Structure 1
Amino acid sequence: MTLPARNLLAEEASPYLQQHSDNPVHWRAWSPAALAEAKESGRPILLSIGYAACHWCHVMAHESFENDTVAAVMNRLFVNIKVDREERPDIDQIYMAALHAMGEQGGWPLTMFLTPDGKPFWGGTYFPREARYGRPGFIQVLEAVDKAWREKQQSLAESADGLTAHVEQRLAGAKGKAVLDRDTLADLAGRIDGMIDRDLGGLSGAPKFPNAPFMHSLWLSWLRDGQTAHRDAVLLSLEKMLAGGIYDHVGGGLSRYSTDAEWLVPHFEKMLYDNAQLVRMCNWAFAATGNDLFRIRIEETVAWLLREMRVDGGAFAASLDADSEGEEGLFYTWRQEEVEVALGDDATSFFRHFELAAPHGWEGKPIIRQSEAQQRQGVADYAEIAPLKAKLLAAREKRIRPGRDSKALTDWNGLMIAALAEAGRSLARPDWIEAAAKAFAHIVAAGKDDRLPHSMLGAKKLFPALSSDYAAMTNAAVALFEATGDPAYSDHAKRFIDQLDRWYQDSEKTGYYLTASDSGDVLIRIRGDVDEAIPSATSQIIEALVGLSSLTGDPDLWEKAWTTAEHAMGRATQQAYGQAGIVNACALALEPLKLVIIDKPDSSSLVPVANRNPDPRRIDIVVPVGAETNRPLLPGGVLPPTDRPGAWFCTGQACLPVVTDSAELEKLLRRG
């Protein structure tokens, strides 16, 4: 079939694709129809992958895709397909892996040239319209690719076949299972620890990302093996990034990464997933240290989330853009006189606690940050500076806001729902748990034929979901069950796993694919093993299976979790660092922790102890004294008595004697 010779993105559910609907380029969304058009025309595909908050995606759009001359060349030579990587991470991972296999560094926008049947033969990332930065101009690239395709089509097709086979082996292949042992996590954590910047936190060098999967590895190493150096590396990293410009000191929330080694100049886009993981990490850090810095940053970040990121129905938007009025960071940065106008006589107090910094080469206004001493003092003086932040926030609200990508992604929402439920328990914020429950209900209600969507934008929904969606929502359901005790959440979790098994499990029942079995528009059906800024789909699946099997005591579910973990580890051993999430999840499978508490709901002494001592390895189940329904099984099929308060703490298949004293339980749950 031949699609209309015009841009077809206006009706798409992705704000990123809609941003390109006025381009003179004849963009198509990724679809069977677009792929069929390429095959019928014999023209290669120009695939452009990006996302709404991506600064360099905007630059390339303004320079090239909005330019009539560039668009004319694109329309004449290629079938042009635009993909939102957040809507289709499966497609993004395939072609990003192909770019890496070519020896190129990845990033977005991703610009790939494909054969008419979708196989990659050449690519890059950002190309300027005119040659600069050591890169050729985009028209020059387009014409060179066209010339190569016309003159060397056979050899390019053979190269594309080989490259596709390589990517399939890496992303979809089976490597056999590996024995799960304690040394794997210890080895990974030791190698990550060797990469830590001891002065500035995070990994050495620049740019600096929060890198939650690596931080998780270090935290698990401390919890399990008592490696205090690994705990301290996480705490240092959190403290440094929370003082830097990567953290929004006025409005709360974390930007995606820092362009420098000091956490000062971020790419100012704010992603839902980064902030979900920040809330979780700060919750663990606050429990471990009692440092109010972490509590304050959780409260500020959740306030930002509920103020700026909620969409109709209660779910959460994907991201906020870096740019406003055509300038990166303009919304978030301040000149000294702007602060002084907003605060008046209080500006002196503000500048005791914060500084404005503008590094060499930065063309925008200065960025708010804190020194180490200012951060400590700011925690002590928070009652004094909170009203000043509120005044600056009110002044900032009058500015032209960055764009918001308002699509709700199921897996990212699952991460945030779990984080909100956990932090709500720890910090005694039932309103946060309620917000998590509302988001969860909205996503479940958006389902069709008992299947979840991957993405929602108003009434528009993208089906089918990915395996990461079912895993993240299972983990969210377990977290909400722990927070509320409502068995409806465990029922939801069971149904999610049933759907995961039906649509994503491999034929040998050793693991899961990222895409559903009825997803017919992918070149390769990949596993979803590789971490990005968030843990991989496979790692989230293992965590979900382990958590739900602990919750239910279902031995078949536990066997499935163990088999999935063994085979995932067999694949992960082929990678150096890209699959930390799998190692972390397998560590949970090795030593799952379960805490069953029987207590009086109106005068509980044991439940608050569990709430203020969160542990990512542990599933908590609370049952009212006297209850006979929904009584959880202890390992070995033992039912705990419910006639009096008590707590049973279990590791794997072994449970300690019942604990009835809150101080004793506190001692048991705290890592000394």
Structure 2
Amino acid sequence: MKNVLHKETSPYLLQHKDNPVHWQPWSQETLDLAKREGKPILLSVGYAACHWCHVMAHESFEDDEVAALMNDLFINIKVDREERPDIDQIYQTSLSLLGEQGGWPLTMFLNSKGEPFWGGTYFPKQSGYGRPGFTDVLTAVSGIFKNEPEKVSKNRDALKAALKKMNSTPEGDRPKLTLEVLDRIADRYAQEADPEFGGIGSAPKFPQTYVLENIWRSYIRTGNEQLAEVVTKALIAMSQGGIYDHLGGGYARYSTDAAWMVPHFEKMLYDNAQILDLMLLVHAENKSDLLQARIYQTIGWLLREMTTDTGAFAATLDADSEGVEGKFYTWTQQQVNDILGDEGHQYSEIYGVREDGNWEDVNILHRLAYPNMLDPETEERLAHLSGLLFAEREKRVRPGLDDKVLTDWNGLMIASLAKAGMYFSEPDWIEKAEGAFTAITSLSMTDEGRLYHSYRQGQARHTGMLDDYANMARAGLVLFEATGKNFYLQRVQDWITILNTHFWADEGGYFLTADDAEALIVRTRNAFDNAVPAGNGTLIEVLAKLHYLTGEREPFEKATDIVRTFSAELGRNFFPLATFLNNFETLIEATQVIIVGRRDEPETLDLLAALNDFSLPARIVNILEATDDLPFDHPAKGKTRKDDKATAYICKGPVCSNPANNSHDLRSLLEEKS
């Protein structure tokens, strides 16, 4: 045997192609090899930007002694979790069922059928960090596999049964979901907010944007200012903390501390897409200069550093450079003074730079002591000084870029970028979003309209999964709203047809994988958010909007079936169901804005601008030259222009408002509705 990862395209797998470990990719051939050899499988899952993956690689996978032990005792499989979220989700769930905290690198031990029996995450080479040494683990697991098969079988059977139960239709009472229930859940979410530093929970602290959106939606419904404070406090803390790159824009994946100061420095496309989406929603209400600045800076980073030659967006930026976590982003006091001169003192005061460092003898730039924007003149000067530091930073060795194009993550960012383009009247952003959408559909889609999950080096790979279709369909609907091009609406309808054909479960809801995809030990089906929103939760919004835009009944019924299928989970644990809950509101309480007019009319643009003054998370905008094509039972059917001007109607349920043909009247209508 030998290491064969040089044949792969994933940057993460290619990072390991020169390891002395005989790494194999995930395949049926590799599973068959384990059966022939009579060896257990060591499955290692990670991703290119993962700091602790690098640590374990340097300590163990690059070590000849450890590699020899791995090669002798196991068949070793390496998986990129971003390329194969279906595999990652199964074995992360298995680890949680063993009572262990999940994460990456994931280290799981399987039999030749791919059935797990034990695992963990990061293991140091020698015992430490309160964890057993990796070499000791290898020897012990191999010994149990050979000499105590009954233990292996017992663990395997228990995990298989638990996995099967988790992916079957939830049992138990299905509570009747109402807006009042959503508000009670939002109050419960808000109780988990950190009153001192902002955000949900304690260290390590993740953005959890879908939970914050749930709280924000409840604020919009109820007017409870305490809920608004939870969300704005979190966004300010993230945007002024060290988790934000104050020189280059963009947010790191999470903070290792409760105060948002010390990030895990990797930047992920999906985090930034979701944070942008939430900031846009909140900015419509509070017009925060800080949020606007962070939106522009983050989109600047996206277009500057994350746009591939194809026009689609790259996946991640590494946490490490030159083998050191955060080296690219951190500064000493002397470096700041050398570049900024006499102004270094004021800059250091505002950005938390200290002579002795604020983290491991160096400094992470942050503004936690100065969370509010200062006067415009001072902010302008600080931006100039940050530009000087940024120019100097550009000379450093850059963190690695994982430039593979992931369909689902691109869908998230396309939607956020197009929304931002509409909101801030930045047509270039909409154009870039359209370009990424075109890239995905030209590079990662078959002639039959089926999507692939990943694209790199001219190769589209891995059969598209639920999240790919869900997020790209959502992006298509945003682009339809932004451009009025029916092409996007048709594409979304085609993808929903594919989902209904290949992903729908007879018991309700969509499977993560298609019925003709590679068979794994379980076919995952749930509505739980992970690092990205749950596909089933996202599709409630997509299907609801399709219903309202086209009048077709089937999308509404499918969305209702998803709600019915997974609502039993609410009685057990609603915390990972935020996207599901958020989009239920859109299903039952959508605010339809019907504008009878042409897109290029000044009055139409005036009406659209008025919408920007209202945070409307369940909003659906449809611009029509006439309402003749609306379904016969649509409440706006037959509505016309008033005084031959572009005219807006606000429709909820079976009722539409009076006409508004100017921004003043539309604002009045929206204020009444709120």
Secondary structure of the 1:157 match is helix
**Equivalent residue, structure 1, for 2:653:** 652
Deviation of 1:570 after TM superposition, in Å, equals: 2.7
Q: Is 1:217 matched with 2:214?
A: yes
Q: Is 1:467 matched with 2:466?
A: yes
Secondary structure of the 1:113 match is strand
**Equivalent residue, structure 2, for 1:321:** 318
Answer yes or no: is the 8 Å Cα contact 2:373–2:379 preserved in 1: no
Secondary structure of the 2:370 match is helix
Give the 3 Å change call, closer, same or farther, for CA 649–121 of structure 1 in structure 2. Answer: same
Unaligned runs of 5+ in 2: none
**Equivalent residue, structure 1, for 2:491:** 492
**Equivalent residue, structure 2, for 1:91:** 87
Distance 2:397 2:119 in 1: 36
Q: Deviations over 1:289-312 (max 9, x none)?
A: 111111110000000000000011
User: Paired residue for 1:240, among 218, 231, 237?
Assistant: 237
Q: Is 1:595 matched with 2:596?
A: no
Distance 2:410 2:97 in 1: 32
| Paired-residue identity, % | 43
**Equivalent residue, structure 1, for 2:520:** 522
Distance 1:91 1:211 in 2: 23
Mean Cα deviation higher: 630-639 or 7-16 = 630-639
Deviation of 1:374 after TM superposition, in Å, equals: 5.7
Secondary structure of the 1:10 match is helix
The CA RMSD measured in Å over matched residues stands at 2.1
Q: Which amino acid aligns with 2:506?
A: S
Secondary structure of the 2:327 match is coil
Q: Deviations over 1:634-667 (max 9, x none)?
A: 7357243255421111123332222223123123
Give the 3 Å change call, closer, same or farther, for CA 37–379 of structure 1 in structure 2. Answer: farther
**Equivalent residue, structure 1, for 2:255:** 258
Q: Deviations over 1:429-471 (max 9, x none)?
A: 1111111000001001121132111111131212311111101
**Equivalent residue, structure 1, for 2:154:** 158
Number of aligned residue pairs: 665
Unaligned runs of 5+ in 1: none
Answer yes or no: is the 8 Å Cα contact 1:632–1:639 preserved in 2: no
**Equivalent residue, structure 2, for 1:288:** 285
Deviation of 1:75 after TM superposition, in Å, equals: 0.8
**Equivalent residue, structure 2, for 1:478:** 477
**Equivalent residue, structure 2, for 1:130:** 126
Secondary structure of the 1:317 match is coil
Give the 3 Å change call, closer, same or farther, for CA 123–94 of structure 1 in structure 2. Answer: same
Secondary structure of the 1:7 match is coil
Distance 2:613 2:292 in 1: 12
Q: Is 1:443 matched with 2:440?
A: yes
Distance 2:525 2:283 in 1: 35
Q: After the TM superposition, which residues 237-636 of structure 1 pair with which residues of structure 2 at under 5 Å, given as runs?
A: 237-348=234-345, 350-351=347-348, 353-356=350-353, 362-373=359-370, 375-377=372-374, 381-446=378-443, 447-448=445-446, 449-508=448-507, 510-600=508-598, 601-604=600-603, 605-624=606-625, 635-636=634-635
Answer yes or no: is the 8 Å Cα contact 1:48–1:83 preserved in 2: yes
Q: After the TM superposition, which residues 48-87 of structure 1 pair with which residues of structure 2 at under 5 Å, given as runs?
A: 48-87=44-83
Deviation of 1:88 after TM superposition, in Å, equals: 1.3
Secondary structure of the 1:236 match is helix
Deviation of 1:171 after TM superposition, in Å, equals: 3.0
Distance 1:525 1:423 in 2: 36
Q: Which amino acid aligns with 1:211?
A: Q
Distance 2:354 2:544 in 1: 46
Mean Cα deviation higher: 320-329 or 539-548 = 539-548
Deviation of 1:33 after TM superposition, in Å, equals: 1.4
Give the 3 Å change call, closer, same or farther, for CA 439–378 of structure 1 in structure 2. Answer: farther
Q: Which amino acid aligns with 1:54?
A: C
Secondary structure of the 2:576 match is coil
Distance 2:103 2:25 in 1: 20
Answer yes or no: is the 8 Å Cα contact 1:119–1:160 preserved in 2: yes
Secondary structure of the 2:177 match is coil
Distance 1:204 1:559 in 2: 36
Mean Cα deviation higher: 322-331 or 526-535 = 526-535
Deviation of 1:349 after TM superposition, in Å, equals: 5.2
Answer yes or no: is the 8 Å Cα contact 1:276–1:416 preserved in 2: yes
Distance 1:654 1:38 in 2: 63
Answer yes or no: is the 8 Å Cα contact 1:115–1:157 preserved in 2: no
Give the 3 Å change call, closer, same or farther, for CA 221–133 of structure 1 in structure 2. Answer: same
Q: Which amino acid aligns with 2:591?
A: L
Distance 2:662 2:632 in 1: 22
Q: Which amino acid aligns with 1:70?
A: V
Answer yes or no: is the 8 Å Cα contact 2:657–2:669 preserved in 1: no
Deviation of 1:358 after TM superposition, in Å, equals: 8.9
Deviation of 1:35 after TM superposition, in Å, equals: 1.6
Secondary structure of the 1:27 match is coil
Answer yes or no: is the 8 Å Cα contact 2:503–2:514 preserved in 1: yes
User: Paired residue for 2:180, among 178, 183, 192?
Assistant: 183
Q: Normalising by structure 1, what TM-score?
A: 0.95
Distance 2:406 2:81 in 1: 12
Answer yes or no: is the 8 Å Cα contact 2:594–2:636 preserved in 1: no
Answer yes or no: is the 8 Å Cα contact 1:99–1:122 preserved in 2: yes
Deviation of 1:244 after TM superposition, in Å, equals: 0.6
Q: Which amino acid aligns with 2:532?
A: I
Give the 3 Å change call, closer, same or farther, for CA 521–25 of structure 1 in structure 2. Answer: farther
**Equivalent residue, structure 1, for 2:110:** 114
Mean Cα deviation higher: 19-28 or 338-347 = 338-347
Q: Deviations over 1:213-247 (max 9, x none)?
A: 21011011112222221111100110111111010
Deviation of 1:572 after TM superposition, in Å, equals: 4.2
Mean Cα deviation higher: 598-607 or 192-201 = 598-607
Secondary structure of the 2:5 match is coil
Distance 1:76 1:478 in 2: 53
Distance 1:241 1:630 in 2: 45
Deviation of 1:556 after TM superposition, in Å, equals: 2.0
Distance 1:326 1:389 in 2: 25
Secondary structure of the 1:463 match is strand
Answer yes or no: is the 8 Å Cα contact 1:572–1:582 preserved in 2: no
Answer yes or no: is the 8 Å Cα contact 1:330–1:364 preserved in 2: no
Q: Normalising by structure 2, what TM-score?
A: 0.94
Q: Which amino acid aligns with 1:43?
A: K
Q: Which amino acid aligns with 2:202?
A: G
Answer yes or no: is the 8 Å Cα contact 2:144–2:151 preserved in 1: no
Mean Cα deviation higher: 157-166 or 59-68 = 157-166
